[in-house]
A and B are shown apart, each in its own frame.
Chain A
Amino acid sequence: MVSQNIRHEVRLLSRNYWFVSLSLVLVLLCLYAGYNGLRHFERRQADQQQAIAAQQEKEDLIQEVALNLSKGEEHPSAFRLSPMNVAIYTGQLATMPATEISKLAIGQSDLYTHQIKISSSEDLATLSFNELNNPVQLLFGNFDLAFVLTYLVPLVIIAFTYNLRTQELESGRLRLLASNPINTNLWLLQRFIIRYCSLAIILTFILTLTAVMVGMAFSLSLVTFFLLTYAYLAFWFAVSYLVNIYGYSSAKNAVSLLSLWILLVLILPTVINQAANTVYPMPSRVTLLNEIRQTKKELSQEQDRVLDEYLRNHPELIRNEGQNAYGYWQGYFASQELMEEELSPVINRFDEQLTKQQKWVDSWGLLSPAVLFQDGATELAGTSSKNYNEFKANVRSFSLDWRAHFMPFVFDNTMLEHSDLEALPKFEYRSILGTSGVLVNISVLLILSVLMAIRGLALEGKQELLSFSRS
């Protein structure tokens, strides 16, 4: 039956002009989406390059000064090697490089900054609250490939399968088919699988074409992206299969499937997102910023007390000269540090809520294949809010190291030397998210598909459907 069905479907599909033309439209849409993704990627890269170049200029300058001084020469800009200057003015740039896959799934990346200046004057506490945070990808974000796959491809699948069985039922052909020794639900499943494979092959071709067009190299993430796509397709084919088996009329099937599409792709992600915000509300941004401002003000008014308190906690920094030897900068750095300590519960509250929201979305997202796919795709692309939160956490912890590194210099009141510049901590964004989360998404989609297929097969012979289509 399999080989007959394959030949049969190939004949039917190749003579179906609607199918052929829609495939062509799909090619164009994907190429356009790929082009969009590429433009995004390039803009992000250019922004980052610009920031890196500006930063490099500053770093080159102090390198040059340090080199001159180390040779015993004088330099008019020798003051640039003060710890305050290096820590605050030069600072360091933390970058989150764009991945290749981000050309296919822009995700929320255009809402975020991917390069953050690390400087001991910036209080990075505010960083967490500055940007919009949406655990689920915003609907209709960008017209990228992930968008085409999430929203449009299910519609294509529905268009090509909604009446695969009911058409046979309505025309009376199912009676003719069922007068042969076949299991009709298995026969139907085969036709669905063949159509699934046809679409998968077409999409593989289109995706490969798009990947080549946007200059992507073959990689494990790309393969995983393909697998995720296949799993998502399988889900929609399985839904349509089950609807076909339960359904009595093509018109009703179309309505049911479109309703499911609206529910699973449009409504559910929004509801999950809203619910996450309701169940784990974010502390008010205004209140938080006020709290920060208040703390700052208080600390700056009592620099002496702050310095006292700070030194009590960090006796290793006390130098022989006694307290009067300390000036403005020591007080400034100490207050920064103290502020960090005082504000950390506030920030933690914010971060905790964020983590809870993420967990909520991770578990309820299982209900929506669209969330599973989008999440998986953006995670592979490193453009999900998870990735971004990870980046911010990296930045925050680095900024602490950065300041801590300068403390001895500040309190010793010594200038940095050439070798000190080499020893400065370097920021590097390290993601530990990996692709294991995506594999979970793929498995969930596949398991759901298989369960639906099994359910459909189990209904064979349980329905007296054939009497409804009396010829």
Chain B
Amino acid sequence: MLHAVNLTKKYQENLALDNLNLVIEPGDIYCLLGANGAGKSTTINLFLNFIAPTSGKAVIDQIEVSKDPQAIKKLIAYIPENLVLYNELSGLENLEYFVGLAGMKYQQDELVSFLQEAGLQSEAFKKRVKTYSKGMRQKIGVAMAIAKRAKVLLLDEPTSGLDPKASNEFSELLLRLSQQNVATLMATHDLFRAKETGTDIGIMKSGKLVEQLSTEEINHSDLEKLYLNHMNN
């Protein structure tokens, strides 16, 4: 579903992403780990066509991202670390607007059901988003992904700053989506969540993917050791 083929991004002399090769299949939850500045967001931005690759290509569903970005954007849903919505609109109105931009039309009750599916408490639906907590806003992001029927989820540290309960709820939503064959690429600093939720883990360092493994192959403490090992070298 998602392929990175020798994907490289250079900012002047700074090699932000160095020859990344990656395959993520439907139902996979691929977690990218790495220190600040390792190139995780750069990878996600390349899949979103927010930036253009210096060389190599990002491919989603056999379509090269930079060739037909509009087609790609129909397939993907993006949730950044801090989902900024329109504060003066309610959660429901925000969902309606963004889903409309994605080209989907829903009845009010369908939109409500997406919010319910994303786990937002129903009292909040019609409240203005400025009263929402961070966790509630992230749930709107998930509702958008559900409503958009996204085949690919691109998540950039979606759980950072969430409390453990909210973070756990978010993971459960991801798992449910992966059962519906959604392919997920998630950048995170949360080793625990990555091991719990992910199917695959990639460790990045200075723009390079230095380690790839399946979560089934490793336990929590070994993962932490491996990670720190890479960081210390």
Residues of A within 8 A of B (CB): 1, 3-4, 7-8, 11-12, 15-16, 171-173, 175-183, 187, 461, 464, 466-467, 470-471
Residue B74, interface by CB 8 Å: yes
B78 and A15 within 8 A (CB): no
Residue B45, interface by CB 8 Å: yes
Chain A's closest residue to B73 (CB) is A181
A176 and B50 within 8 A (CB): no
Chain B 53-96 residues near chain A, CB threshold 8 A = 69-71, 73-74, 76-78, 80-86, 88-89, 93, 96
Contacts of A471 in B (CB 8 A): 80-82, 156
Known: A4-B101, A467-B50, A471-B82. A179 touches B77 (CB 8 A): yes
19 contacts between A and B (CB under 8 A): A4-B97, A4-B101, A11-B93, A171-B84, A172-B82, A176-B78, A177-B98, A178-B50, A179-B77, A180-B101, A180-B103, A181-B73, A464-B50, A466-B45, A466-B51, A467-B50, A470-B41, A471-B80, A471-B156
Residues of B within 8 A of A (CB): 41, 45, 48, 50-52, 69-71, 73-74, 76-78, 80-86, 88-89, 93, 96-98, 100-103, 154, 156
A-B contacts at CB below 8 angstroms, number? 78
Chain A's closest residue to B66 (CB) is A461
B103 and A181 within 8 A (CB): yes
B45 and A12 within 8 A (CB): no
Contacts of A11 in B (CB 8 A): 88-89, 93
Chain B's closest residue to A177 (CB) is B101
Known: A180-B73, A467-B50. A173 touches B85 (CB 8 A): yes
Q: What distance in Å separates the Cβ of A10 from its nearest Cβ neighbour in chain B?
A: 11
Contact of A172 among B48, B84, B86, B88 (CB under 8 A): B84
Known: A12-B88, A180-B73, A471-B156. A172 touches B80 (CB 8 A): yes
The main secondary structure of chain B at its interface with chain A is: mixed
A464 to B80, CA, bound (A): 18
A143 to B27, CA, bound (A): 68
Chain A's closest residue to B83 (CB) is A176
**Given pairs A11-B93, A179-B76, A179-B77, 19 additional interface contacts (CB within 8 A):** A4-B97, A4-B100, A8-B86, A8-B97, A171-B84, A172-B84, A176-B78, A176-B84, A176-B98, A179-B78, A180-B73, A181-B74, A181-B102, A182-B101, A461-B69, A466-B51, A470-B41, A471-B81, A471-B156
Contacts of B86 in A (CB 8 A): 8, 12, 173
Chain B's closest residue to A173 (CB) is B84
A171 to B84, CA, bound (A): 7
Chain A's closest residue to B11 (CB) is A467
Contacts of B97 in A (CB 8 A): 4, 7-8
Chain B's closest residue to A465 (CB) is B50
Contacts of B85 in A (CB 8 A): 173, 176
Contacts of A173 in B (CB 8 A): 84-86
Contacts of A12 in B (CB 8 A): 86, 88-89
Contacts of A171 in B (CB 8 A): 84
A12, A15, A176, A177, most chain B CB atoms within 10 A: A176
Contact of B70 among A1, A175, A177, A181 (CB under 8 A): A181
B98 and A180 within 8 A (CB): yes
B52, B82, B100, B154, most chain A CB atoms within 10 A: B100
Contacts of A467 in B (CB 8 A): 45, 50-51
A177 to B85, CA, bound (A): 10
Chain A's closest residue to B90 (CB) is A11
Q: What distance in Å separates the Cβ of A462 from its nearest Cβ neighbour in chain B?
A: 11
Q: What distance in Å separates the Cβ of A431 from its nearest Cβ neighbour in chain B?
A: 51
A182 to B83, CA, bound (A): 19
B86, B102, B156, most chain A CB atoms within 10 A: B86
Q: What distance in Å separates the Cβ of A256 from its nearest Cβ neighbour in chain B?
A: 24
B102 and A180 within 8 A (CB): yes
Chain A's closest residue to B50 (CB) is A466
A181 to B75, CA, bound (A): 9
Q: What distance in Å separates the Cβ of B83 from its nearest Cβ neighbour in chain A?
A: 7
Q: What distance in Å separates the Cβ of A170 from its nearest Cβ neighbour in chain B?
A: 10
Chain B's closest residue to A170 (CB) is B84
Contacts of A16 in B (CB 8 A): 88
A180 to B88, CA, bound (A): 21
Contacts of A177 in B (CB 8 A): 98, 101
Q: What distance in Å separates the Cβ of B41 from its nearest Cβ neighbour in chain A?
A: 7
B100 and A1 within 8 A (CB): yes
A187 and B101 within 8 A (CB): yes
Known: A175-B50, A466-B45. A1 touches B88 (CB 8 A): no
Contacts of A178 in B (CB 8 A): 48, 50, 73
B82 and A179 within 8 A (CB): no
Contacts of B98 in A (CB 8 A): 176-177, 180
Contacts of B78 in A (CB 8 A): 175-176, 179
Contacts of B102 in A (CB 8 A): 180-181
Contacts of B81 in A (CB 8 A): 471
Q: What distance in Å separates the Cβ of A59 from its nearest Cβ neighbour in chain B?
A: 69
A175 to B71, CA, bound (A): 17
Contacts of B80 in A (CB 8 A): 172, 175-176, 471
